[in-house]
Structure 1
Amino acid sequence: MASGGKTPGKPDDRPQGGSGDPSKSDIGDALRSAYEDAVKEDIPAEMLDLLGKLD
């Protein structure tokens, strides 16, 4: 068993944010953009039909 008292993979072993890493900002921007694109999409007619059958 590994010494040190910590179990690998636990949340406290992950790197902490706030390092100012620009790649994290780029990822956030990409996620926001993808979300906005998804929100703007129309709901497919098949999905609306299925939802209508729930009533």
Structure 2
Amino acid sequence: MVPNAKRKVERKAARPKGTAPDSSVGQALRSVYEKAVGEEIPQEMLDLLGKLK
């Protein structure tokens, strides 16, 4: 068990202070989400959704 605990400490030490381990992934996901939210819904999709009613 000690070698695993040592590896975790080494990983934490390698990270820059003040950054979360997933901060770049989170930023990328937020960017993609914002782009998707800003896009218009294609008319074909709206037509298909209208048929579900």
Q: Same fold (TM over 0.5)?
A: yes
| Structure 1 residues 5-44: aligned runs within 5 Å | 19=12, 21=15, 22=19, 24-44=22-42
Q: Deviations over 1:1-55 (max 9, x none)?
A: xxxxxxxxxxxxxx8xxx5x44621111010010011011111110000011112
Match of 2:24, SS state, is: helix
Gaps of 5+ in 1: 1-14
Higher relative contact order (CA 8 A, sep 6+): 1
**Count of aligned pairs between the two proteins:** 38
TM-score, normalization by structure 1: 0.55
Separation (CA, whole Å) in 2 of partners of 1:40 and 1:34: 10
Higher share in helix: 2
Percent identity of equivalent pairs: 59
